[in-house]
């Protein structure tokens, strides 16, 4: 199998983190430095920084309310990274990303298949956000946000929008372009003052306080996996 999938299945880190390790030449297969096109076969010896990959422990699934200022990365060299902040006894990685200036729901796990299914845009899984902007939210603005906005050389996929209050609206996306909501708003003449993710598929933020985390309940996890067809 490809090196990205192999590392992901071990639960050591996400595919995104694997790409960083490969770029820095820190993964080897049978003593040879691996690259993004490398394959792993059954008898191969795969090392990271010259050491065997730790044996995967029981699967871990948790929800975290990321505060503003925390960076969604497991790279220990980056100050304020998410794993340093929550300081879990288990090794997990973040599913997808949420930019440093944003807050809200992040899922963390050591289940590579689940993380990949949620993160891949072609699966079209819903992520819901509550957004505060610097101008009154109008029906026309919500309509344009829902129909699609031209950013990053393409038109965003149709979204669901909902008026909350004079300066606040909700939007549900099925894709995850870089800083997508901020770019969409800016194109329409609005500036985002607060952006909070409140839902990923069937997992809701609800009353989970900023900076706190919790393990997913069995019923939540069962429904999540059903939605991911795992």
The mean pLDDT of 32-49, rounded to a whole number, is: 90
Strands 103-109 and 192-200: parallel
Q: List, by residue number, the catalytic residues.
A: 99
Return d(Cα 148, Cα 154) in angstroms, integer: 9
Q: What is the pLDDT of residues 172-224, one digit of tens each?
A: 999 888 999 999 999 999 999 999 999 999 999 999 999 999 999 999 999 99
| Residue 210 DSSP one-character state | T
Query: Rg (Cα) of the chain, in Å, rounded?
Result: 19
In the prediction, which pLDDT does 90 show? 76
Return d(Cα 153, Cα 134) in angstroms, integer: 25
Q: Taking a C-beta distance cutoff of 8 angstroms, is the pair 156, 102 a contact?
A: no
The mean pLDDT of 97-109, rounded to a whole number, is: 94
Return d(Cα 65, Cα 200) in angstroms, integer: 12
Q: Mean of the per-residue pLDDT values for the chain?
A: 90
Domains of the chain: 3-52 (3.10.290.10), 61-121+206-228 (3.30.70.580), 126-200 (3.30.70.1560)
pTM of structure = 0.79
DSSP H helices, 54-199, are 82-86, 112-119, 139-147, 180-187
The mean pLDDT of 160-171, rounded to a whole number, is: 98
Q: Taking a C-beta distance cutoff of 8 angstroms, is the pair 60, 109 a contact?
A: yes
Return d(Cα 183, Cα 151) in angstroms, integer: 7
Query: Of the candidates 204, 203, 198, which has an alpha carbon nearest to the alpha carbon of residue 222?
Result: 203
The mean pLDDT of 56-73, rounded to a whole number, is: 89
| Residue 8 DSSP one-character state | H
Return d(Cα 225, Cα 230) in angstroms, integer: 5
Q: List the helix and strand counts (H, then E) for the chain.
A: 7, 15
Q: Taking a C-beta distance cutoff of 8 angstroms, is the pair 150, 187 a contact?
A: yes
What does residue 139 show for φ and ψ, rounded to 5 degrees?
Answer: -60, -40
The mean pLDDT of 63-89, rounded to a whole number, is: 87
In the prediction, which pLDDT does 169 show? 98
Q: Determine the straight-line distance between the first and last CA of the chain, rounded to whole angstroms.
A: 19
In the prediction, which pLDDT does 194 show? 98
Query: Of the candidates 14, 87, 94, which has an alpha carbon nearest to the alpha carbon of residue 61?
Result: 94
């Amino acid at each position: 199998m490809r090196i990205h999938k192999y590392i992901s299945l071990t639960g050591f880190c996400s595919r995104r983190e694997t790409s960083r390790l490969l770029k820095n030449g820190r993964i080897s297969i049978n003593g040879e430095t691996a690259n993004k096109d490398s394959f792993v076969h059954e008898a191969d010896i795969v090392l990271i920084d010259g050491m065997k990959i730790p044996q995967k422990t029981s699967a871990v699934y948790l929800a975290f309310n990321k505060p503003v200022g925390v960076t969604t990365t497991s790279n220990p060299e980056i100050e304020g990274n998410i794993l340093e902040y929550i300081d879990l006894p288990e090794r997990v990685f973040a599913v997808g990303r949420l930019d440093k200036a944003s807050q809200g729901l992040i899922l963390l796990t050591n289940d590579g298949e689940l993380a990949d299914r949620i993160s891949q845009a072609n699966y079209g899984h819903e992520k819901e956000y509550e957004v505060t902007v610097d101008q009154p939210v109008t029906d026309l603005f919500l309509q344009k946000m829902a129909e699609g906005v031209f950013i990053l050389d393409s038109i965003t996929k149709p979204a669901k929008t909902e008026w909350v209050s004079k300066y606040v609206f909700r939007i549900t996306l099925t894709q995850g372009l870089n800083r997508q909501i901020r770019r969409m708003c800016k194109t329409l003449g609005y500036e985002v003052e607060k952006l909070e993710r409140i839902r990923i598929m069937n997992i809701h933020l609800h009353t989970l306080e900023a900076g706190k985390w919790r393990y997913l309940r069995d019923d939540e996890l069962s429904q999540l996996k059903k939605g991911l067809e795992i």
